[in-house]
Amino acid sequence: MESLIFLLVIFGVMWMLFIRPQQRRLRAQQEMLSSLQAGDDVVTAGGVIGTIRALDDNEVRLEVSGGVELRLVRGAISRRLGPDRIEPGDGDITP
Look up the pTM and report it.
Answer: 0.67
CATH classification of the domain holding 80: 2.30.30
d(CA 62, CA 72): 7
Residues 44 and 9 occupy one common structural domain: no
Residues 49 and 89 in one domain: yes
Strand order in the sheet with 68-73: 68-73, 59-65, 49-55, 41-44, 77-80
Residues 14 and 53 placed together within one structural domain of the fold: no
Collapse the DSSP code of 46 into the 3-class scheme (helix H, G, I; strand E, B; otherwise coil) and give the result. Answer: coil
Provide the domain count of the chain: 2
Amino acid at 46: G
**Do 42 and 28 reside in the same domain of the chain?**
no
Q: Please tell me the predicted confidence (pLDDT) of residue 84.
A: 55
Digit-coded pLDDT (tens) for 32-87: 999 999 999 999 999 999 999 999 989 999 999 988 999 999 999 999 997 655 44
For residue 9, the enclosing domain spans: 1-35
Q: Indicate whether 20 and 56 sit together in one domain.
A: no
